[in-house]
Amino acid sequence: MLRKFKIAIDGQEYLVEMEEIGGAPAASTPVATTPPAAPVQPTTAPPVADAPAQSATSPVAAGADALTAPMPGTILRILVNTGDAVKQNQPVMILEAMKMENEIVAAADGVVSGIHVAQGDMVNPGDALITIA
């Protein structure tokens, strides 16, 4: 849900629109942007072979164990492959947002069990990017 605010910085007034991403609205945002069938397929078809086919078309809603997009942007590079071992804070992909390259890092040590996006995909906050088990 977009909300409009008027802010003043150093005497200069700006009109800004912000999207609320905390609490329940964040969970509903990915569902509203993806078809209703898209979130169901990854949870009912856990084989890794089905996940890349889904990720090529559109990002999926995040599961409990997935790294999620912190902001809207475009996936520039994926730095790991399914089956790779990763360490906590190791960069796993590069997300371009607001003309800046942002590293998405592993939240914990583990093995990459699924990659839910492809290079060039546009993502929204809360979209699943990668699963590390």
73-78: strand order across its sheet = 100-105, 91-97, 73-78, 122-123
pLDDT, one tens digit per residue, over 96-133 is: 998 899 999 998 899 999 999 999 999 999 898 999 88
pTM for this predicted structure: 0.53
Residues 3-50 have pLDDT tens digits of: 787 888 888 888 888 777 765 444 444 444 444 444 444 444 444 444
- Per the listing, tokens 């991403």 go with 21
